[in-house]
Amino acid sequence: MAAIIPAYNEEGNIANVLRVLRAMSEIDQIIVVNDGSGDKTSEISRGLGVDVVELPMNMGKGAALKAGIERADADIVLFLDADLIGLTVAHVRSLLCPIWDESYDATVGIFEGGRASTDWAQALAPFLSGQRALRRDLVVDVATLDDAGFGVELQIHRQLKRLGIVPKEVVLNDVSQVMKEEKLGLVKGLAARMKMYWEIIREIPRI
């Protein structure tokens, strides 16, 4: 079982996620893909004893996930965002158990009871969640992940739909994310949010 965490300038958040994963004996490989960060994301990750893949520049979430999938040596992969708040071992196990017991080939995590902003967004579009577990063979050959950016979740959704796979929705109680405006300030955060929305919207016609 391999956990893959794409990260761009997440020095203030990523340790919380990695400590949860490090506490789980079921996870054999933890991979942080440093997507061209200019902060201490890599140093913090290595200090916690995880495998770090370095991208030469900021290439986007899709490219980071693809790099992690290619590094993974496992039949099952877990995708988690690096800026999660309130994540616990129980949450991670709830994403993995339906695949371990072979009742599902994929799961997707839905925030509930964390923060209204993130809960609302995922209630409207649960397939945009970055918290997923699935069999690696379902996505390893999806060549277009590289240029998807934040639209990578839609690409994964489309791939599963093409294969006739409906992921189990798993409620992640009291989990949320740090907002871009909190990380970057209002102006830069809004700009980053608009870029994220555009990368998602351009993938919609392909679904």
Could you tell me the CATH number of the domain that includes residue 11? 3.90.550.10
Average pLDDT over residues 84-97: 96
Average pLDDT rounded to a whole number, residues 34-54: 96
CB 183, CB 83: distance < 8 Å? yes
pLDDT band per the 50, 70, 90 thresholds, residue 84: very high
> What pLDDT, in 10s, does the model give residues 167-196?
999 999 999 876 655 565 555 545 455 555
pLDDT of res. 162: 87
Kindly state whether residue 10 falls inside one of the protein's structural domains.
Answer: yes
Residue 206 within any structural domain of the chain: no
Within-domain flag for 205 = no
Q: So what's the pLDDT on residue 140?
A: 84
* Phi, psi (degrees; rounded to nearest 5) at 139: -125, -10
Domain with 19, as residue range(s), is 2-178
- Pair of tokens at residue 149: 């950016």
Average pLDDT of the residues in 56-67: 91
> Going by C-beta distance under 8 Å and a sequence separation of 6 or more, which residues neighbour residue 33?
4, 5, 6, 7, 52, 53, 55, 64, 65, 67, 68, 71
Token output for 16:
């919380």
Give domain status of residue 54, yes or no: yes
Domain-embedded: residue 107 = yes
Task: Name the DSSP letter for residue 130.
Answer: S
The model carries a pTM of: 0.82
Q: Which residues, other chains included, contact 56 with Cβ-Cβ below 8 Å and sequence gap of 6+?
A: 36
Q: Is residue 190 included in any domain, yes or no?
A: no
Domain contains 36: yes
Q: E strands, 90-157, where?
A: 106-112, 132-135
Is position 174 within any domain? Answer: yes
Number of structural domains found in the chain: 1
Q: Is the pLDDT of residue 124 over 80?
A: no
